C-alpha cells in the first residue's frame, strides 16, 4: 500500500510551517521595527491632519519609530482609502478615516468594499459640527439665521470639506429642518473651506471646531450653534442646536484607524491598545479638548460595529434628502 502524500510530507510540512510561524511571531514581537506610513485622505492643515499629529508624537515616543503622513486628498477620501487596499498587510500602513467612510457607499460605486477590504483598529476621537457664518450675515442666533436665510432664498452658499461628506450632509439636513434653500459649495478639505468662508466666498458652513476656532477667536467668523448634547468648552456662550430650538439636528464626526484587511490580528490589537493608551493621557485629552475634540476609546470589534451602523444611518439620510455627489 502506498503511503499518502500527507503521511510522507506531513512532518516536514509541519516543521516548515512552524518555522514560518516562529518567524512571523518574532517579527510581530519586534513591531514596529521601521517607520509607519499613515495615509491621510485629505490635504495637510485640516482637522484630520491636526488629529493625527497629536497621536503620531506619542506613538514615536513610545515605539521609537516615526509615523509619516502620506497625504492623498480627493475623491471624498476614496483615493486614500483605495491606496490602503493596495498596501501590504504587514502593519506598516494605516489609514486615518472619518465617518465619510460610512457615507461614501451610499453615494457612489466604490473601487473597494468598505467593510471586507479593511481591518478596523479603533476609534480615536469625536467632534461635533458647528454652524458658523461670515460676519456679513446679519444673524447672531439660530433663529436670526433661519429668518435671514428665508429672506434670501437661494442666495446663500455653504462650504464643506468635500461633496458627500458630513459637512455636506449637515447642510442638507439643516435645509430640510429649517425649510430654507441654500447651495452647497464643496472644497478639498476643511482648511480650504474655512478659508473660503473667512474670505466671504460663501456665507456659512457646518464645520468642526478644529477648523474654525482660531478664526472665531480672531473675530473673522461668527459661531451660531453646535451639534451634540453639550456646549463647547472653548466657546461656552454658544448654545447647542437643541438649546437654540432645533433638537432634531444631529451631526457628529468620528475619527478612526483602519489597516488592510489581511493584517494579522495581534498587530491590529497592539496598535489598538497603543492608541487607546495615548488618548487616555491627560495632556492628550487637553490638546484634543482645545480643538473641540473628545477622546473616543474603542476596540476593533466596536469600531467595526460603528461603521456598519453608520452605513445604515447615512443610507437613510442620503435617501430622504435625495443627496447626489454632483450637488
| Residues whose CB falls within 8 Å of the CB of residue 226, separated by 6 or more in sequence, listed in order | 128, 129, 130, 131, 209, 232, 235, 238, 239, 240, 241
Torsion of CA 209, 43, 110, 319, to 10 degrees: 30
In this prediction, residue 28 carries a pLDDT of 64
Distance (Å, rounded) from C-alpha 123 to C-alpha 299?
Answer: 7
Exposed, middle or buried: residue 153 (CB in 10 Å: 0-12, 13-18, 19+)?
exposed
> Class for domain 34-126+253-321, per CATH?
alpha beta
Q: Map out the domains of the chain as residue ranges.
A: 34-126+253-321, 130-226
Any idea what DSSP says for residue 232? B
Assess contact for 258 and 94: CB atoms under 8 A.
yes
In this prediction, residue 5 carries a pLDDT of 39
Any idea what DSSP says for residue 161? S
In this prediction, residue 8 carries a pLDDT of 45
Which has the closest alpha carbon to 255: 89, 37, 46, 91? 46
Q: Determine the straight-line distance between the first and last CA of the chain, rounded to whole angstroms.
A: 73
Assess contact for 238 and 224: CB atoms under 8 A.
yes
**Residue 274 host element (H or E):** helix 265-279
For the chain, how many residues are written?
Answer: 327
Kindly report whether the global pTM for this prediction surpasses the value 0.75. yes
Distance (Å, rounded) from C-alpha 263 to C-alpha 256?
Answer: 16
CA-based angle 98:163:246, to the nearest 5? 75
Within this chain, domains 34-126+253-321 and 130-226 share the same CATH topology: yes
In this prediction, residue 18 carries a pLDDT of 52
Distance (Å, rounded) from C-alpha 217 to C-alpha 225?
Answer: 15
Q: What's the pLDDT tens digit per position in 41-89?
A: 987 876 677 788 899 999 999 999 999 999 998 888 899 999 999 999 9
Our separate counts of H helices and E strands in the chain read: 11, 11
In this prediction, residue 10 carries a pLDDT of 53
In this prediction, residue 313 carries a pLDDT of 87
Residue segments in the chain with a per-residue pLDDT below the cut of 50: 1-9, 15, 20-23, 327
Residue written as cell 509615523? 67
Exposed, middle or buried: residue 154 (CB in 10 Å: 0-12, 13-18, 19+)?
exposed
**Residue 294 host element (H or E):** strand 294-295
Hey, which CATH number is domain 130-226, 3.40.50.1980, 3.30.930.10, 3.40.630.30, 3.40.190.10? 3.40.190.10
In this prediction, residue 55 carries a pLDDT of 93
In this prediction, residue 325 carries a pLDDT of 63
Amino acid at each position: 500500500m502506498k503511503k499518502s502524500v500527507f503521511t510522507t510530507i506531513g512532518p516536514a510540512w509541519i516543521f516548515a510551517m512552524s518555522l514560518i510561524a516562529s518567524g512571523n511571531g518574532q517579527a510581530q514581537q519586534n513591531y514596529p521595527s521601521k517607520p509607519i506610513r499613515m495615509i491621510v485622505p485629505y490635504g495637510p492643515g485640516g482637522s484630520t491632519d491636526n488629529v493625527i499629529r497629536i497621536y503620531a508624537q506619542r506613538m514615536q515616543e513610545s515605539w521609537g519609530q516615526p509615523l509619516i503622513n502620506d497625504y492623498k486628498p480627493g475623491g471624498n477620501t476614496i483615493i486614500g482609502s483605495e491606496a490602503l487596499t493596495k498596501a501590504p498587510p504587514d502593519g506598516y500602513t494605516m489609514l486615518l478615516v472619518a465617518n465619510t467612510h460610512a457615507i461614501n457607499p451610499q453615494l457612489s460605486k466604490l473601487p473597494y468594499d468598505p467593510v471586507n477590504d479593511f481591518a478596523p483598529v479603533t476609534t480615536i476621537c469625536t467632534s461635533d459640527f458647528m454652524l458658523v457664518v461670515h460676519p456679513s450675515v446679519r444673524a447672531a442666533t439660530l433663529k436670526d439665521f433661519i429668518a435671514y436665510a428665508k429672506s434670501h432664498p437661494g442666495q446663500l452658499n455653504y462650504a464643506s470639506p468635500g461633496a458627500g461628506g458630513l459637512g455636506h450632509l449637515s447642510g442638507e439636513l439643516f435645509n430640510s429642518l429649517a425649510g430654507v434653500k441654500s447651495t452647497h459649495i464643496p472644497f478639498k478639505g476643511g482648511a480650504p473651506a474655512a478659508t473660503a468662508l473667512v474670505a466671504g466666498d460663501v456665507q456659512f458652513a457646518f464645520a468642526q471646531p478644529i477648523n474654525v476656532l482660531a478664526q472665531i477667536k480672531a473675530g473673522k467668523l461668527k459661531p451660531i450653534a453646535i451639534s451634540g448634547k453639550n456646549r463647547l468648552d472653548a466657546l461656552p456662550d454658544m448654545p447647542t442646536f437643541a438649546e437654540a430650538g432645533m433638537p432634531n439636528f444631529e451631526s457628529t464626526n468620528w475619527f478612526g484607524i483602519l489597516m488592510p484587511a489581511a493584517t494579522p490580528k495581534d498587530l491590529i490589537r497592539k496598535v489598538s491598545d497603543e492608541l487607546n493608551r495615548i488618548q487616555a493621557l491627560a495632556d492628550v485629552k487637553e490638546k484634543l479638548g482645545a480643538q473641540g475634540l473628545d477622546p473616543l476609546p474603542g476596540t476593533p470589534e466596536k469600531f467595526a460595529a460603528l461603521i456598519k451602523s453608520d452605513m445604515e444611518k447615512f443610507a437613510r439620510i442620503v435617501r430622504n434628502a435625495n443627496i447626489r455627489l454632483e450637488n
